[in-house]
């Protein structure tokens, strides 16, 4: 034992008797802790009771090992938060400080009793002192950075909307100040130990603590008083959050762990609510439309308790950080939708309605009240009023979610991709749409034409089925049909846009020409193909989706009869078809290997089967389609194709890859009028034009239509061309071949 340690030991022994100050600090610490713990237990029980009101979700309990791994990686590694650089790093230091320095809060309970004591066993280890010193300093830096960021982005600041608009700002400030004060008083406690020569750790391991001690007086009771203040600050925080169970900015530090653990698809690198939509369920089981009864089975979500328990956990976990809001195309163009505010509205409604529901109240599937008058007699008028609120309704009807909010969503997935705690916004929005469409028949009127066309004609444009192959006319090679040939490697899924929409037909012809040039054996379904069902499903008409999808699955299974999944290959030019066939048809028994045409073209160029001979010049920028990029993580392939086909480097827009801005057509918005705020496609076109590029390359027929309309709306049709990646490559591979004019001008098939 060193001489310094012996002195400390002797002094500690001398100070072991509890003085009057220590008696007071011990009693006060015990009292405030008892109150805080009692309130916290009560709050947790209330939250659990509310979350348990949700519908079953048995699929959330599968593959627990993968779920645990994902949770640890996302929390300890901060993989989602670090996408925001400085903010993510600062938050990581604060998180680590909260977890590790909880030991120092525990140590404070020993220090209120005896100012010279410390944490048993590890409290005297120099390595513990060094580690906690480093974490304290970095935590202080981190929380100060976060405080500055919150102040700089406060909603009332000059210069536009903030991601914190709509957040409960006092709660954020309160939590940040609590963290700051706890860290400061941790150093003050150590400083008093230094000042009284009772500190366990050497100068080299704890220089900041020694520096604080150098300016503090030699007050023997100082450590006990500072420890009491630290405990009081910590317990005040616990009391406040316990009295505010909807205080997500505080509760997320506990709820994030289970929310990430129970995410829909733990193996996904990005948001688990991207790609496929959840199938419609009733009582936790997928809905069978052939046997479903609206009086017995739940069709979408009409009341907040009809969300799954994971949905209610989602709402409770929201930390109000506004990352989703900052990326949302609807919010950024003046629409009333903010994914954050939608979640907060559902959260507040769920907890306000909870007393009514927990008393046995609620409406059955026929709309009748389930509770007796005796069950509801003790409830206050506010709880009863909350129980009568419609989930979807305008201000006049007192609805929780305004219809304009619900129908502004493009399902682009930016909110899901950005959320650091894995909230599945798109699934919740579509679940509410499902009830509105299937039961209430309440949706934007212009979308009704699209749905009727899908039911009657098998495509959203209502084009005759016998014109699906018209795009093949004029090609200098024969396009084979499934049934006419058995020896094909890829089934070319043309899609409705690729078959009927004038601009998209050019992409279809370009892809077919390139596949033929590369010697790829492919075939089409022709008139046997019908809409994949994407617009029906995203608008909420699951019935029409199921009808179309089951028909297509049957057709595709017949086309691939006898082949294993690895040889059931489909190439699609539309990311919406690509996503639906590859991610959603498996729910209906259709297992296929689906690739986007840019992936296949990139492979053909890389293997030398296609050779660009004349680079396309004039400057090119690329727009990432939401359902290709964000939903399915395909960012590299289109850029590889363009890199081989163009002269010079690709010019990226500021918002690209996973942060690409939506064109405005997803979520069936292609068939709805955009009446509120700025048009999303115009916002995106302005960003593209600001790059100075003369060509805007796309990988989606919806994006092509929307961006072309935006360019023409800006009067720039002669200066800027919107064209598919495949057409750019074709111009480079076969520069002598006529391309049929600029894609800004629609042409016939």
Confidence of residue 101 (pLDDT cuts 50, 70, 90): confident
**Residues 487 and 519: beta-carbon distance below 8 Å:** no
In contact, 734 and 706? CB cutoff 8 Å? no
b/e burial code for range 291-305 (CB count within 10 A of at least 16 → b): eeeeeebbbbbbbbb
* Residue 749 in this model has a pLDDT that exceeds 90: no
Q: What is the pLDDT of residue 159?
A: 64
Q: How far apart are CA 717 and CA 704, in angstroms?
A: 13
Question: Exposed, middle or buried: residue 519 (CB in 10 Å: 0-12, 13-18, 19+)?
Answer: exposed
Q: Of the candidates 308, 295, 293, which has an alpha carbon nearest to the alpha carbon of residue 431?
A: 308
Is the confidence at residue 257, as pLDDT, over 80?
yes
Confidence of residue 290 (pLDDT cuts 50, 70, 90): confident
Say whether pLDDT at 618 is over 90: no
Rounded to the nearest integer, the mean pLDDT of the chain is: 91
Least confident of 206-215, 265-274, 413-422, 481-490: 265-274
- Split at pLDDT 50, 70, 90, the class of 745 is very low
Indicate the helix (H) or strand (E) that contains 493.
strand 490-493
The pLDDT value recorded for residue 85 is 85
Residues 6+ apart with CB under 8 A from 162: 153, 154, 155, 322
Model confidence pLDDT, tens digit, residues 433-451: 999 999 999 999 999 999 9
Rounded CA-CA distance 699/697 in Å is 7
Distance (Å, whole) CA 251 – CA 240: 11
d(CA 233, CA 269): 38
Q: Give the percent of the chain with pLDDT over 90.
A: 79
The confidence score (pLDDT) of residue 13 equals 45
Query: Can you tell me the mean pLDDT for 65-76?
Result: 92
> How many other C-beta atoms lie within 10 A of the C-beta of residue 404?
15
Reduced to 3 states (helix: H, G, I; strand: E, B; else coil), residue 563 is coil
Residue 443 and residue 436: Cα distance in Å, rounded?
7
Burial, 487: exposed, middle or buried (Cβ in 10 Å; 0-12, 13-18, 19+)?
exposed
What percentage of the chain exceeds 70 in pLDDT?
Answer: 95
Q: Which residue has the higher pLDDT, 316 or 735?
A: 316
| Rounded-to-integer distance, Cα 82 and Cα 95, Å | 13
Find tokens 């100075």 and name the residue.
692
* DSSP secondary structure, 374-388, as one string: HHHTTS-HHHHHHHH
Residue 193 CB burial class (10 angstroms; 0-12, 13-18, ≥19):
buried
pLDDT per position as a tens digit, 108-117: 999 999 988 8
pLDDT band with cut points at 50, 70 and 90 for residue 270: low
SS3 label, residue 409: coil
| Residue 28 scores a pLDDT above 70 | yes
Tens digit of pLDDT for each residue in 507-535?
A: 999 999 999 999 999 999 999 999 999 99
Per the CB < 8 A criterion, the answer to whether 417 and 635 are in contact is: no
Q: Which pLDDT score, from 0 to 100, does residue 266 have?
A: 87
Contacts with 213 (C-beta within 8 Å, 6 or more apart), sequence order: 190, 191, 192, 193, 194, 195, 199
- Reported as a single tens digit per residue, the pLDDT across 336-390 is 999 999 999 999 999 999 999 999 999 988 888 888 888 888 998 998 999 999 9
Residue 2 pLDDT: 45
pLDDT band at 195; cut points 50, 70, 90: very high
3-state secondary structure 16-49: CCCCHHHHHHHHHHHHHHHHHHHHHHHHHHHHHH
Average of per-residue pLDDT across 595-603: 97
Tens-digit pLDDT profile for residues 640-685:
999 999 888 899 999 999 999 999 999 999 999 999 999 999 999 9
- Give the span between the Cα atoms of 448 and 445, in whole angstroms: 5
pLDDT score of 10 more than 50? no
The mean per-residue pLDDT over the stretch 547-574 comes to 94
pLDDT, residue 743, reads: 45
pLDDT at site 269: 65
Nearest alpha carbon to residue 476 among 509, 437, 520: 509
Lowest mean pLDDT among 121-125, 147-151, 259-263, 630-634: 121-125
In angstroms, the CA 45 to CA 59 distance is 24
Return the higher-pLDDT residue of 639 and 743.
Answer: 639
Residue 27 predicted with pLDDT over 60: yes
**pLDDT at res. 59:** 93
pLDDT at position 271 is 67
Least confident stretch, 269-278, 493-502, 728-737: 269-278
In the block, which residue shows the tokens 């949706």?
A: 443
Mean predicted confidence (pLDDT) in 692-720 = 94
Over 80: is that where the pLDDT of 73 sits?
A: yes
Count Cβ neighbours within 10 Å for each residue of 366-401 and write b for 16 or more, e otherwise.
eeeeebeeeebeebeeebeebbebebbeeeeeebbb
Report whether 22 contacts 113 (CB < 8 A): yes
Please give the backbone phi and psi of residue 726, each rounded to the nearest 5 degrees, phi first.
Answer: -65, -40
Contacts of 335 (CB under 8 A, 6+ apart): 404, 408, 676, 677
- Confidence check: pLDDT of 9 > 70: no
């Amino acid at each position: 034992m060193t001489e310094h340690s012996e002195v400390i030991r002797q002094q500690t022994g001398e100070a072991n008797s509890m003085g009057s100050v220590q008696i007071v600090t011990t009693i006060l610490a015990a009292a405030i802790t008892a109150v805080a713990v009692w309130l916290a237990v009560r709050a947790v029980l209330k939250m659990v009771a509310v979350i348990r009101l949700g519908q079953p979700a048995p699929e959330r309990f599968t593959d627990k090992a993968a779920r645990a791994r994902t949770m640890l990686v996302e929390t300890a590694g901060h993989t989602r938060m670090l996408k925001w650089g400085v903010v993510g790093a600062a938050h990581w230091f604060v998180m680590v400080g909260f977890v590790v320095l909880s030991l120092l809060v525990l140590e404070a309970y020993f220090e209120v009793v005896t100012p010279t004591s410390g944490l048993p066993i590890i409290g005297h280890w120099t390595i513990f002192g060094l580690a906690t010193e480093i974490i304290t300093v970095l935590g202080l830096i981190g929380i100060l950075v976060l405080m500055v960021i919150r102040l700089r982005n406060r909603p009332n600041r000059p210069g536009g909307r903030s991601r914190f608009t709509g957040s409960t700002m006092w709660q954020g400030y309160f939590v940040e100040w609590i963290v700051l004060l706890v860290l400061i008083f941790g150093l003050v406690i150590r400083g008093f130990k230094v000042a009284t020569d009772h500190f366990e750790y050497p100068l080299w391991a704890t220089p900041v603590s020694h520096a604080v001690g150098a300016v503090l007086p030699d007050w023997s009771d100082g450590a006990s008083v500072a420890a009491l203040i630290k405990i009081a600050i910590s317990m005040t925080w616990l009391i406040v959050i316990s009295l505010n169970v909807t205080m997500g900015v505080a509760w997320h530090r506990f709820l994030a762990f289970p929310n990430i653990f129970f995410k829909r698809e733990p193996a996904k690198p990005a948001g688990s609510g991207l790609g496929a939509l959840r199938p419609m369920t009733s009582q936790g089981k997928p809905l069978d439309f052939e046997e479903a009864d609206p009086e017995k089975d739940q069709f979408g979500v009409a009341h907040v308790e009809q969300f799954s328990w994971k949905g209610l956990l989602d709402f409770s976990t929201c930390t109000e950080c506004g990352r989703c809001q900052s990326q949302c195309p609807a919010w950024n163009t003046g629409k009333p939708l903010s994914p954050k505010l939608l979640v907060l509205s559902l959260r507040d409604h769920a907890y306000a309605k909870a007393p009514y529901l927990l008393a046995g109240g609620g409406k059955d599937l026929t709309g009748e009240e389930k509770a007796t008058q005796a069950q509801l007699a003790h409830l206050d008028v506010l709880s009863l009023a909350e129980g009568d609120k419609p989930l979807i309704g305008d201000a006049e009807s007192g609805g929780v979610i305004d219809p304009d909010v619900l129908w502004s969503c493009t399902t682009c997935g930016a909110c899901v991709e950005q959320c650091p705690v894995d909230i599945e916004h798109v699934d919740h929005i579509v679940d509410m749409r499902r009830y509105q469409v299937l039961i209430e028949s309440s949706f934007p009127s212009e979308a009704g034409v699209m749905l009727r066309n899908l039911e009657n004609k098998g495509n959203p444009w209502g084009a005759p089925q016998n014109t699906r192959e018209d795009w093949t006319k004029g090609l200098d090679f024969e396009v084979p049909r499934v049934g006419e040939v058995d020896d094909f490697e890829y089934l070319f899924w043309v899609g409705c846009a690729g078959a009927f929409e004038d601009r998209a037909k050019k992409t279809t012809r370009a892809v077919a020409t390139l596949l033929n040039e590369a010697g790829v054996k492919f075939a089409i379904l022709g008139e046997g193909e019908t809409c994949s069902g994407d617009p029906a499903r995203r608008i909420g008409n699951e019935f029409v989706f199921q009808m179309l999808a089951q028909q297509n699955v049957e057709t595709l299974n017949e086309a691939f009869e006898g082949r294993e999944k690895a040889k059931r290959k489909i190439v699609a030019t539309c990311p919406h078809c690509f996503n639906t066939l590859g991610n959603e048809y498996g729910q209906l028994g259709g297992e296929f290997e689906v690739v986007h045409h840019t992936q296949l073209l990139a492979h053909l160029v890389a293997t030398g089967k296609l050779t660009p001979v004349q680079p396309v010049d004039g400057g090119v920028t690329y727009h990432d389609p939401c359902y290709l990029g964000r939903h399915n993580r395909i960012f590299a392939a289109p850029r590889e194709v363009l890199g081989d086909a163009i002269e010079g480097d690709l010019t990226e827009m500021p918002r690209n890859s996973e942060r690409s801005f939506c064109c405005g057509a997803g979520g069936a918005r292609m068939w709805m009028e955009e009446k509120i705020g700025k048009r999303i496609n115009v916002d995106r076109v302005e960003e593209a034009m600001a790059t100075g590029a003369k060509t805007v390359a796309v990988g989606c027929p919806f994006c092509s239509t929307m961006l072309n309309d935006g360019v023409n709306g800006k009067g720039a049709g002669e200066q800027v061309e919107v064209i598919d990646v495949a057409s750019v490559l074709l111009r480079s591979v076969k520069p002598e071949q006529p391309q049929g004019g600029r894609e800004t001008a629609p042409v016939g098939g």
